[in-house]
Amino acid sequence: MNLFKLAWKNTWAKPWQTFLVLVLMVVGLAALRVTFALQKEAEKGLSEHISGVDMVIGAKGSPLQLVLSSVFHIDDPTGNVNQNELKDILDHPLIHFSSQLAYGDGYKGYRILGHDSSFFKFYPFELDQGRLARKNMEVVLGYEVAQVTGLKIGDHFHSVHGLGLEGKAHDHKDFIVRGIFRKTGRVHDKLIFTPLASVWDVHNQALDSVKYITAALVHFKTPLGKLQLPRMINGETKMQAAIPNMEAQRVSKLTGGGIGMIRFMAILLVVLSALGMFGNLWQRFQEREGEWRLLRQLGFSKKFVFGLIQTEAFLYFILGLPLAFILSVSSLSIASNHIPKAFNVQVLQILKSDIYIVLGVFLLVVLSGMIPGIQAYRRKP
């Protein structure tokens, strides 16, 4: 007698009970896996984007908004600041290097980021095609921008005012594509890079004596700068200084509570599915008392009877895990379309937490079949 076939037949003897247990298990495991995947990508995205950026300087407003707009490029800027006033701060001896940024325009929903040459000290991107922008109105495309828009080396385009899809077109100035960066997996794949002068030129500010920028990224020589300069800037100037690490921790706290609650509910569903599995196995054990005795009388060993019940429990494991993985991948794929572009969610990936999830579910399955299995093992012919 085939052990697996008999276990399969017994498992689906009451299909609705089995189906309900599987639904609880699959939904719980999928939700659990999604929370771990989102937490991993959030932590990775935060650490990668703020790496090397010790401070951000911009207009007065929300420090979180300043960091989100200037480092993660997922929010509107807090305003503009006078470049001359900012220069006095950037010349401070505690600052190792800095990069000035200016933005406010876009192309087909992608932001155009004006920057100075020091920007690549923070983000040393590699070119996939062409060269860096050397002159006014030249641009280098992020990888996704090139893929989605179809722009190629040598193409010309006009920007629109604002960071959305619609806005007043700046048709008096053409941008020309000079290069395309390799894929980074960061929000920078979704940006268009150009020299600062291009932004001023488009807005007819190239000849103005006073020029404005949106923000500046700063890297300190020593940790002492992080202690002294933010306090000085926030207290003595019209600008504000934000510390990306602190704002990233704030974001983690804001999202951590929600993820923790979802994870708790997911674990509860998995535990309920284990209890349901145990209930099904125990009920079938009591209903098939005569079947166990008959199997023993026909010469089947105690180990066979015990193994039969454990196999029935293990079938939930075999069926539930693949379905849970498929559901989690589908959920991550949907979620990735609604998550800020700075967090590049990898849909198909194996997580370290997957090992613990598999081991935990396997343990629950074994324990669920243990009591009825032992009882059947002890039954005499």
Per DSSP, 188 falls in state: G
pLDDT above 90 coverage of the chain, percent: 27
**Stretch 71-95: mean pLDDT, rounded?**
89
Contacts of 341 (CB under 8 A, 6+ apart): 73, 74, 187, 190
Note whether 160 and 256 are same-domain residues.
no
Query: Distance between CA 246 and CA 46 in Å, rounded?
Result: 11
Domain hosting 34: range is 3-46+252-378
Virtual CA dihedral for 84, 85, 87, 91, nearest 10 degrees? 140
**Stretch 235-252: mean pLDDT, rounded?**
86
Comparing 25-29, 61-65, 327-331, 349-353, the range with the smallest average pLDDT is 349-353
- Which of 183, 216, 242 terminates a domain? The answer is 242
Residue for token pair 């960071």: 163
Highest mean predicted confidence (pLDDT) among 168-172, 235-239, 377-381 = 235-239
In contact, 323 and 24? CB cutoff 8 Å: no
Whether 380 has a pLDDT exceeding 70, the answer reads: no
- Which of 212, 242, 272 terminates a domain? The answer is 242
What b/e string do you get for 284-297 counting C-beta neighbours within 10 Å, with b at 16 or more? Answer: bbeebeebbeebbe
Query: Distance between CA 124 and CA 118 in Å, rounded?
Result: 10
- Which of 209, 242, 275 terminates a domain? The answer is 242
Query: Distance between CA 174 and CA 159 in Å, rounded?
Result: 8
Percent helix / strand / coil, the chain, rounded to 5: 55, 15, 30
Note whether 211 and 307 are same-domain residues.
no
Residue 87 belongs to a domain: yes
Note whether 187 and 217 are same-domain residues.
yes
What b/e string do you get for 143-159 counting C-beta neighbours within 10 Å, with b at 16 or more? Answer: bbbbeebebeeeeeeeb
* Number of independent structural domains in the chain: 2
Amino acid of residue 262: I
Each residue of 276-316: pLDDT tens digit?
A: 877 777 776 666 666 666 666 565 666 776 777 778 888 88
Query: Distance between CA 152 and CA 46 in Å, rounded?
Result: 31
298: exposed, middle or buried (Cβ count in 10 Å: 0-12, 13-18, 19+): exposed
Residue 172 belongs to a domain: yes
Q: Residue 81's pLDDT is what?
A: 92
Each residue of 8-52: pLDDT tens digit?
A: 877 777 788 888 888 888 888 888 888 887 777 777 767 777 878
Whether 63 has a pLDDT exceeding 80, the answer reads: yes
Note whether 191 and 267 are same-domain residues.
no
Residue 247 belongs to a domain: no
Note whether 358 and 209 are same-domain residues.
no
In contact, 353 and 33? CB cutoff 8 Å: yes
What is the DSSP code string of 234-266?
HHHSSEEEE-HHHHHHHHHHHHHHHHHHHHHHH
Note whether 175 and 273 are same-domain residues.
no
Residue for token pair 């066979």: 304
**pTM for the predicted model, two decimal places:** 0.70
Note whether 210 and 283 are same-domain residues.
no
Comparing 97-101, 105-109, 339-343, the range with the smallest average pLDDT is 339-343
Note whether 80 and 204 are same-domain residues.
yes
Note whether 302 and 163 are same-domain residues.
no
